[in-house]
Structure 1
Amino acid sequence: MITYSIESVTEDFKMNSSGALIINRTLNYALVPSYSFTVKAQDSGGKSDTTSIQINVKDPDNWNPYFLHNLYYAFIPEEQVGFSPTIQPEAIKALPGDPGIDTTLTYSISSVTPEKYRSNFEIDSIGGNLSVVTAIDREEMDSSIISVNIKVDQVTDGRTATAQVRVVNEAPQFPPEVYKASVFSTDPFKTPVIVVKASDPDVGDEGRLEYSLVSGSPYFDVDASSGLVFVVSVVDLSGQAATVEVKVTDPKGLNATAKVEVEVLGSTSSSNVVTISLNQPANVVERKVPEMEKSLGKALGWTVNIIQVSNSTRGSPKSRTLREDAKSLVNFIAVDKAEVVSYEEVVR
Structure 2
Amino acid sequence: MEYRQISSFDGNLLLIMSILAVYTVALLVQRRKPKTAERLGLKLEGGVLIFRTEKFNDTIRGFASKHLRAVKLFGDLSAFAGFALMVYGLYFFHANLLSFFSEPEAASPVSPIVPGLNVGVDVLPYFLLAVFLAIVPHELAHALTASAEGIPLKSTGLFLAVVFPGGFAEIDEEHLEKAGLKTKLRVLSSGSVANILTFLFLLLLALLLVQPLGVRVTGTLPGYPAEGVLKPGDVILSVNGVRAPTLEDFSRLMAKHRPGDTVTLTILRNSVKLNVSITLAPRPENSSRGFLGIQIQQSVSNEDVYNIVSWGLIVTSSVAVINMLPIVPLDGGRIFRAIVEKLLGQSKARTVTVATTAYTIFLVALNIFLSTNIYGLLRFP
Same fold (TM over 0.5): no
Higher percent of residues as strand:
1
Per the shorter chain, which TM-score range?
A: under 0.3
What TM-score do you get using the length of structure 1 for normalisation? 0.20
Higher percent of residues as helix:
2
Name which structure has the greater RCO, CA cutoff 8 Å, separation 6+.
Answer: 2
What TM-score do you get using the length of structure 2 for normalisation? 0.18
